[in-house]
């Protein structure tokens, strides 16, 4: 505890001195969620550490009156969800100390949303952070592709699982994961940014005023497409397909007129070539890829059946506490039936991957209702922003649409492997919330349109 407090104080002082560089570093730090540092026997990820440190200058400047703390409905929902987690843990958890530590763990990640909502203060900050996210996605993709390529060549440096047991017997998640936790997490990450880049490239006229945007988006699109193949993650594939379908439905009238086909098709051809090579390849990778490609929605496979068994057990446990749930991350201790679950070799695999079922199990119908209300509110506000700013501030509308579709991708992907306990999802959501705040700002309206714009109902469709 003394070491943690000392580290927090040290990072807090540093955050006051280098506030903006640390904020801008969050997208890159969030891609390092497979790496952690040990402080006082506790493993902490760098994005968590920096986010907590940035609370110091935010709190200090608020207390002395130099800034006004900005909140929105998403923050209040997060606070309510955290309160329900703590209450359910105190009342029902079979492993109270572990569950309370996990409450602190997820809270330290959710802080990222608060930080970005408050410390992205200018339009320049917003645009710089957005393009920083694209660079971070590209860098993470390069590392993952390199790790997988070297592993296939027999040079293992970490960042990829290519063993025969993983490919044929599903003893571990097969594929590239780079600096992230596992291939499923990397796959969801890559799918989200692939869809975001496609959305950015749809309206090519809007990109003329941003130097290098087309080139950056094309490169990130191509790299993420290749990573999506190398992740061997069906959930991420489904997430990308669903979001691309949403984009086509919303923009189908202008697709043929405004898109330079090569901006999108050429990067995707990279992935098609890689996928074709894997389909034709002999060996473990080819066998697994063909199996997953032909069983993309088949729940009767070994991994699908395992998930169904876990979900059935989770629902059976939830019935005992339907209103409030069992408490944060209690599936593993309940499945262990009183034994010390942390002594098992693969106890970390005893978890609920579906974020909706996880919310229901841990916080009951109360917590699940709060989650659904929060997510729906984000969509409604995004719809309003895109519709109102499509003409008066095309760049912000385009960025908001890209972030929203990336968020849709994550929601589909997280039905199979949730990443809401990791920082990269909250980096995306935090930037989306900052766009919502900026869209309502009188400064933005005046700068983009020259006079006031009457806010329309938030239920306006995209």
Can you tell me the distance from the alpha carbon of 403 to that of 428, in angstroms, rounded to the nearest whole number? 7
Q: Would you say residue 359 lies in a domain?
A: yes
Within a domain: 259: yes
First to last CA, the chain: 48
| pLDDT score for 22 | 93
Sequence-distant (6+) residues with CB within 8 A of 186 are 140, 144, 175, 176, 177, 178, 180, 227, 231, 233
Strand residue runs (E) in 158-269 = 160-161, 175-176
State whether 282 and 307 are in the same domain. no
**Do 160 and 294 have their domain in common?**
yes
Return d(Cα 432, Cα 126) in angstroms, integer: 10
- Binning pLDDT at 50, 70 and 90, where does residue 208 land? very low
Long-range contacts of 333-339 (CB under 8 A, 24+ apart): 333/93, 333/94, 333/95, 333/98, 334/94, 338/94
Check residue 6 and give its pLDDT: 64
Q: What per-residue confidence (pLDDT) applies to 294?
A: 80
Tell me, yes or no, whether 153 and 214 share the same domain. Answer: yes
The answer to whether the CB of 385 falls within 8 A of the CB of 396 is: yes
Q: Domain range spanning residue 375?
A: 299-462
Reduced to 3 states (helix: H, G, I; strand: E, B; else coil), residue 160 is strand
What pLDDT sits at residue 5? 60
In tens, the pLDDT along 218-245 reads 899 999 999 999 999 989 999 999 998 8
Contact status, residue 221 vs residue 201, Cβ threshold 8 Å: yes
Q: Are residues 309 and 447 located together in one domain of the fold?
A: yes
Q: In this structure, is residue 92 part of a structural domain?
A: no
End-of-domain residue from the set 298, 315, 339:
298
Residue whose C-alpha is closest to residue 117's, from 99, 129, 108, 106: 129
Determine the pLDDT at residue 211.
47
Measured CA to CA, the distance from residue 78 to residue 84 in angstroms comes to 10
Q: What are phi and psi of 36, to 5 degrees?
A: -150, 165
Burial of residue 410 (number of CB atoms within 10 Å: 0-12, 13-18, 19+) = buried
Highest mean pLDDT among 157-171, 240-254, 257-271: 157-171
Per DSSP, the three-state class of 70 is coil
Is 30 within 8 Å of 23 (Cβ atoms)? no
Half-sphere exposure of 309 (CA within 13 A, CB side): 9
Q: Where are the beta strands (DSSP E) in 78-220?
A: 160-161, 175-176
Six-digit token string for 421: 């306990």
Same domain, 358 and 457: yes
- Residues 293 and 312 grouped into a single domain: no
Reference 206, options 453, 451, 391; nearest CA is 391
Number of domains in the chain: 2
The answer to whether position 272 is within a domain reads yes
Query: Would you place residue 458 in the very low, low, confident or very high pLDDT band (cuts 50, 70, 90)?
Result: very low
Nearby residues of 444 by Cβ (< 8 Å), 6 or more positions away:
123, 393, 396, 438
Higher pLDDT among residues 395 and 433, named by residue:
433
| CA separation for the pair 455, 378 (Å, rounded) | 16
pLDDT digits (tens, 9 = 90+) for 59-100: 988 998 888 899 999 999 999 999 999 999 999 999 899 899
Q: 430-449 burial by CB neighbour count: b if 16+ within 10 A, else e?
A: bbbbbbbbbbeeeebbeebe
Same domain, 304 and 285: no
Which tokens belong to 294?
């032909």
- Return the percentage of the chain with pLDDT > 70, whole number: 84
Instruction: Kindly state whether residues 454 and 359 are assigned to the same domain.
Output: yes
**Closest by CA position to 390, among listed 206, 195, 225, 221:** 206
Shared domain check, 390 and 294:
no
Say if residue 451's pLDDT is above 50: no
Across the strands, what pairs with 37? Answer: 44
Q: How confident is residue 455, by pLDDT bands cut at 50, 70 and 90?
A: very low
Query: What pLDDT does residue 162 have?
Result: 92
State the pLDDT at residue 252: 57
Task: Report the alpha-carbon distance of residue 441 to residue 362 in Å, rounded.
Answer: 37
Residue 41 lies in a domain: no
At 146, the pLDDT band (50, 70, 90 cuts) reads very high
> Quick one: pLDDT at residue 443?
44
Q: Token match 């019935």: residue?
A: 319
Report whether pLDDT(32) > 90. Answer: yes
- Residue 24: inside a domain: no
- Asked if residue 269 is part of any domain, the answer here is yes
Query: What is the rounded average pLDDT for all residues in the chain?
Result: 84
The residues facing 44 across adjacent strands are: 37
Among residues 298, 319, 336, the one where a domain terminates is: 298
Asked which of 243, 273, 298 is the last residue of a domain, the reply is: 298
Structural contact between residues 400 and 435, judged by C-beta atoms closer than 8 angstroms: yes
Least confident of 213-217, 311-315, 408-412: 213-217
Question: Which pLDDT value is given to residue 261?
Answer: 56
CA angle 57, 61, 65 (to 5 degrees): 175
Summarize pLDDT for 262-303 with one digit per residue, the tens.
Answer: 567 777 777 788 888 888 888 888 888 888 888 777 666 777
Same-domain check for residues 331 and 266: no
Task: Determine the Cα–Cα distance for residues 337 and 351; give it in Å rounded to an integer.
Answer: 14
Grade residue 408 by pLDDT with cuts at 50, 70 and 90: very high
Write out the two tokens for 75.
């923050």
Q: Are residues 206 and 312 in the same domain?
A: no
Identify whether residues 271 and 154 lie together within a single domain.
yes
Is residue 274 included in any domain, yes or no? yes
- Give the separation between CA 127 and CA 124, rounded to whole angstroms: 5
């Amino acid at each position: 505890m003394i070491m943690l407090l000392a580290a927090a104080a040290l990072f807090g002082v540093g955050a006051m001195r280098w506030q903006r560089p640390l904020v801008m570093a969050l997208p890159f730090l969030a891609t390092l969620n497979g790496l952690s540092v040990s402080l006082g026997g506790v493993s902490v990820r760098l994005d968590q550490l920096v986010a907590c440190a940035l609370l110091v200058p935010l709190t200090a400047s608020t207390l002395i009156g130099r800034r006004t703390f900005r909140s929105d409905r998403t923050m209040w929902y997060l606070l309510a969800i955290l309160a329900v987690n703590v209450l359910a843990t105190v009342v029902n958890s079979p492993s109270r100390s572990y569950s309370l530590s996990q409450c602190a763990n997820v809270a330290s990640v959710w802080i990222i949303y608060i930080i970005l909502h408050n410390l992205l203060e200018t339009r320049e900050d917003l645009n710089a952070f957005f393009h920083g996210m694209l660079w971070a996605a590209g860098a993470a993709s390069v590392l993952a592709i390199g790790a997988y390529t070297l592993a296939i060549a027999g040079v293992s440096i970490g960042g990829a699982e290519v063993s025969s047991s993983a490919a044929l017997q599903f003893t571990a998640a097969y594929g590239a994961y780079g600096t992230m936790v596992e291939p499923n997490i990397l796959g969801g990450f890559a799918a989200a940014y692939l869809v975001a880049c496609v959305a950015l490239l749809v309206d090519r006229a809007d990109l003329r005023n941003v130097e290098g945007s087309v080139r950056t988006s094309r490169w990130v699109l191509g790299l993420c497409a290749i990573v999506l193949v190398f992740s061997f993650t069906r959930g991420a594939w489904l997430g990308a397909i669903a979001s691309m379908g949403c984009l086509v439905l919303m923009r189908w009238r202008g697709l043929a007129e405004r898109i330079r086909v090569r901006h999108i098709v050429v990067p995707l051809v990279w992935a098609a070539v890689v996928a074709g090579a894997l389909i034709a390849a002999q060996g473990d990778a080819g066998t697994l890829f063909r199996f997953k490609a032909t069983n993309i929605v088949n729940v009767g496979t070994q991994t699908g059946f395992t998930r169904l068994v876990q979900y059935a057990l989770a629902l059976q446990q939830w019935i005992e506490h339907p209103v409030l749930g069992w408490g944060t991350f209690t599936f593993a201790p309940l499945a262990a039936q009183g034994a010390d679950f942390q002594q098992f070799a693969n106890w970390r695999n005893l978890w609920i991957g579906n974020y909706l079922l996880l919310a229901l199990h841990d916080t009951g119908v109360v917590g699940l209702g709060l989650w659904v209300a929060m997510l729906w509110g984000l969509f409604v506000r995004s719809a309003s922003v895109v519709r109102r700013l499509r003409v008066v501030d095309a760049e912000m509308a385009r960025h908001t649409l890209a972030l929203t579709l990336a968020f849709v991708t994550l929601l589909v992907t997280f039905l199979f492997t949730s990443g809401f306990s990791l920082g990269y999802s909250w980096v995306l959501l935090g930037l989306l919330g900052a766009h919502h705040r900026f869209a309502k700002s009188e400064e933005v309206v005046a700068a983009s349109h020259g006079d006031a714009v009457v806010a329309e109902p938030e239920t306006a469709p995209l």
